[in-house]
Chains A and B, each alone.
Chain A
Amino acid sequence: MNDFLNLILQPLDALFLSLMALLPNLLAMLVILLLGIGLARLIHFVLLKFLNAIHFDNLADRMGMTALMRKGGLWSKPAALIASVVFWVVMVLTLMLALNALQIAAIDHLVAQIFGYLPRAFSALVILLAGTLLAGFASRAVLIAAVNSGYHYAKALADGLRLLLTVLILAMTMEQLQIAPGIVLAAFSITFGGIVVALAIAFGVGGIDAARRMIEKEHAQQEQSEIEHL
């Protein structure tokens, strides 16, 4: 009978001992979580104050970041968005640290993998943000220059440029994230190459008349108004 009882109690005893051994780790995890949440909130508060003090929203407006956010369906202020992103980055890091405190081999391995991936994720985010800003800037510059040159398809040209740059940036971002790099590279090469070849054929073969008209128009502009603007 005693043997039978031991058979039942031993695993329970072992479980109890394991739980007792885990308890300090669990406590450490909870403390880390609480401290992390507090720290994340503090950083969010201070960062928001700082960004507002340096009029970051105005700067973002000027750089075209706000317009970009609106296009992406983000309607919060740029400063609030940055503060929220930083808040959640700190929260994720806290969660990773907290899980690490449990000292469970499987979780440790997962955390190590995630930490190893973070630099890639960060550089992908930088590529995405900087690239999108650059694409917006370049397409607006092309749009204004094309309109002022009297080019009839200015909007289409600017939209086309934005599309090309967006494809390039997305491919770079995904390559950085190591998401199916082979497929991304192949898809990008096919898409980008396809667009360029299509444009070359369109302008080279289909657009002979259009090109002639453009050259004639350019020539005609030489004979345009002689007024002195200044």
Chain B
Amino acid sequence: MAATGIFAESRTAIVNALTALSLAPVTDPRNARPLSVLINPPTFDAFTYNVGDIRFELLILAAPPGNQDAEDYLITTADTIMGSTTLAVTGGRPVSVTVGDQQIPAYSLTVAIAARRN
């Protein structure tokens, strides 16, 4: 079943914005890999039944190990996303995520987006 609704459309908007930045967004954790940006499911506050104040966590994934090369990639990519005039990045921090059985150096960014049904 394909996702529908304001959350799915918001996710699609973020995928499109990341693609326009020549990045490789993925929405399926099974496809998460180094040099991609994993978009996690959103959190949200409902303003009304029609309007959502939505937050997505983006995980920029670098190639292990977590060395200078990985950090250079992560902060450069974080800067690219933050520099987008369409994506509202509200914060970010370095993290380590487990993909498969492997620890991956990553950067977690929070992106805010508002969506209304009509």
Is this pair of chains taken from one and the same complex?
no
